[in-house]
Amino acid sequence: MISRLGLVISRLFARFTPDPFVIAVLLTALTAILAFAFGPFPGAGPGPAPLDSKLLILLDAWRAGDGLWKLLAFSMQMCFVLVTGHALAASRPVGSLLRALAGLPRSTASGAAVTALAGCLFSFVNWGLGLIAGAIVAREVGRSLSRRGVRAHYPLIAAASFAGFMVWHGGLSGSAPLSMTSAASMAKVLPPSTISALDSAGLGAGVPLTFTTFSMINLAVTLGLLALIPASAALLAPRQAQDCAPIDELAPEVLRAAAAEEPAPAARRSPAEWLDTSRFISVLLAVPLLAAVARFGIAQDLRRFGLDEVNTTMFALGLLFHGSPRSYLAAVEDGARGCGGIITQFPLYAGIMALMVASGLDDLLASFLTEHATARTLPMYTYFTACIVNFFIPSGGGQWAVQGPVALEAGLALGVHPGKIVLAVAYGDQVTNMLQPFWALPLLAITGVRARTIVGYSSLLMVVGGLWIAMCLLIL
């Protein structure tokens, strides 16, 4: 039943969901229409604003520096999270660790559990790392079990690797929590009105990680997911061998070993080639980068650790693990292929927020939430709304830029701490990733499976994780 339901959902998405960039364009047009029709336009002066004034206000706000291009710095940070995580996963030390983990399982159940746990742990550290490392573990588990003659169910193992994306936004690379740790990082994402409201609440310097990533509620949610997801994946394993679809039947091409050997160095190398492959050059940059992070930890409050510090650490580790600039740059270039969506969509997300602010539509939405929610129910409303928004804005950072200001202002009006609102948006974003094909493409390429073979299992894992998160938001 679960597989059939997942297949129906997958077909609906494939048939009716256009590319995320197209969705961003349509959302921009829809926001402009709603703003034009219902926005009070507080900056236009007393009385109803003339139609031509509304049009000019929206156009000026959309094209200005605080419009389309407000998220340029933030989008570059998101690209760096992706490429540094991808590069670290592609390094030899991490690859050896992943293959060692993949050699532990002896059955479909243990393979799914190990893959899910590995994907969740790596995604908690860095979502780019988890996305690639989880898929590699799934592939290697399938290969390992095939070599042992175990008829394992490969679709479940592949789906388990994607479950790490249900943990990432509450982890160490979570876009929303890390963008709120300082005044400078908030200014890159939030409009001035929201920053002013936070300042009035005594949080103008930012929301420390102790109220988000390292809060009691997030620790409970994350630890619960780390236990529930692998256990649920193991319980989904078919009991009969004839019900299994092993890797050699489903994706025989991934059984062939990849020719990943580096070419042997020439007997005599030019000075340029020596520098390109020199470990000394990598160390020369990596050591100062790590020293800068250590200096931040000593001079600043670790609770203010932000995206810049996370990216600096991942950058340095990748350089050290690859050992040469040439190897590292090759891995970064490979990972950069996934940045196209971030580069093209984030300006549109910034423009959407600018249209809402200029028209006053954001205040209307915040007032609606305030009138129809209480301090107890607002985090739940925010969470379920974020689940829906994620289908249209698949990027966690882009979703926070659009939904965050409205949710924060409603929370401040009802006396809900911004940290809990940040987490509610983050949880909604990460849960419905299990039905969001945007980030599954690298997984499908590495494991050799198709989306329709894993969506039934990922949807069930989504239900289990989603119920756990909702319960924690309601109780804690």
Q: Looking at residues 184-204, what average pLDDT do you find?
A: 93
For residues 316 and 458, membership in a common domain is answered with no
d(C-alpha 251, C-alpha 397), whole Å: 33
Q: How far apart are CA 65 and CA 267, in angstroms?
A: 54
Residue 359 CA to residue 351 CA, distance in Å, equals: 12
| Tokens 């620790």 -> residue | 219
Q: Is the pLDDT of residue 170 over 70?
A: yes
Question: Among 264, 299, 334, where does a domain finish?
Answer: 334
Looking at per-residue confidence, does 433 or 452 come out higher? 433
Identify the pLDDT of residue 258: 41
Instruction: Kindly report, residue by residue over 116-146, the tens digit of the pLDDT.
Output: 999 999 999 999 999 899 999 999 999 999 9
Q: What is the pTM assigned to this prediction?
A: 0.87
How would DSSP label each residue in 5-43? HHHHHHHHHHHH---HHHHHHHHHHHHHHHHHHH---GG
In a domain, 242, yes or no: yes
Q: Which of 296, 317, 334 is the last residue of a domain?
A: 334
Alpha-carbon distance 165 to 437, whole Å? Answer: 12
Give the C-alpha distances (Å, rounded to integers) separating 218 from 172, 177, 198, 374, 441. Answer: 12, 11, 21, 21, 28
Residues 435-463, buried b or exposed e (16+ Cβ, 10 A)?
A: bbbbbbebbbebbbbebebbbbbbbbbbe
349 and 415 inside one domain: yes
What's CA 125's distance to the chain center, in Å?
Answer: 11
Q: Does residue 262 lie within any of the structural domains?
A: no
- For residue 265, being part of any structural domain is answered with no
Closest CA to 229 of 473, 467, 470, 472: 467
240 and 351 share one domain: yes
DSSP H helical segments within 179-306, as ranges? 183-189, 192-200, 216-235, 247-250, 271-276, 279-299
362-391 pLDDT tens trace: 888 888 888 889 999 999 999 999 999 988
Residues 341 and 385 in one domain: yes
pLDDT at residue 259, as a whole number = 37
Answer yes or no: is 409 within a domain. Answer: yes
Whether the pLDDT of residue 262 is over 50: the answer is no
Tens digit of each residue's pLDDT (9 = 90 or more) over 306-317: 999 999 999 999
Whether 52 shows a pLDDT value over 80: the answer reads no
**Locate tokens 């402009």: which residue?**
32
Q: Tell me the pLDDT of the chain averaged across its residues.
A: 88
Give the lowest-confidence range in 13-17, 252-256, 340-344, 452-456.
13-17
Say yes or no: 237 and 299 in one domain. Answer: no
User: Residue 169 — very low, low, confident or very high, per pLDDT cuts 50/70/90?
Assistant: very high
Query: Which residue bears the tokens 């939030």?
Result: 190
| 327 and 185 both lie in a single domain | no
Residue 2 has pLDDT above 80, yes or no: no
Do residue 287 and residue 433 come from a single domain? no
pLDDT band at 446 (very low <50, low <70, confident <90, very high): confident
- pLDDT, one tens digit per residue, over 417-435 is 999 999 999 999 999 988 8
Q: Which of 296, 311, 334 is the last residue of a domain?
A: 334
- Which string of DSSP letters, residue by residue, matches 69-101? TTTHHHHHHHHHHHHHHHHHHTSHHHHHHHHHH
Rounded mean pLDDT of 140-154? 92
Tell whether the model's pLDDT for residue 184 goes beyond 80. Answer: yes
Q: What percent of the chain has pLDDT over 90?
A: 59
Are 111 and 125 in a shared domain? yes
Do both 399 and 299 map to the same domain?
A: no
Q: What is the pLDDT of residue 334?
A: 87
Query: Do 305 and 392 have their domain in common?
Result: no
Position 443 scores a pLDDT of 83
Please give the tally of structural domains in the chain: 2
154 and 169 together in one domain: yes
Co-location of 329 and 342 in the same domain: no
Q: Which two tokens stand for residue 43?
A: 């900056």
Q: How many residues does the chain have?
A: 476
The arithmetic mean of pLDDT across residues 251-262, rounded, is: 57
Of 60-69, 172-181, 183-192, 378-387, which range is least confident? 60-69
84-101 burial by CB neighbour count: b if 16+ within 10 A, else e? bbbbbbbbeebbeebeeb
Q: How confident is the model at residue 11 (pLDDT cuts 50, 70, 90)?
A: low
Q: What is the pLDDT of residue 48?
A: 65
Q: Is residue 266 one of the residues assigned to a domain?
A: no
Q: Which pLDDT score, from 0 to 100, does residue 172 have?
A: 94
Percent of the chain with pLDDT over 70: 91
Q: Domain of residue 469: give its range.
A: 2-39+50-254+337-475
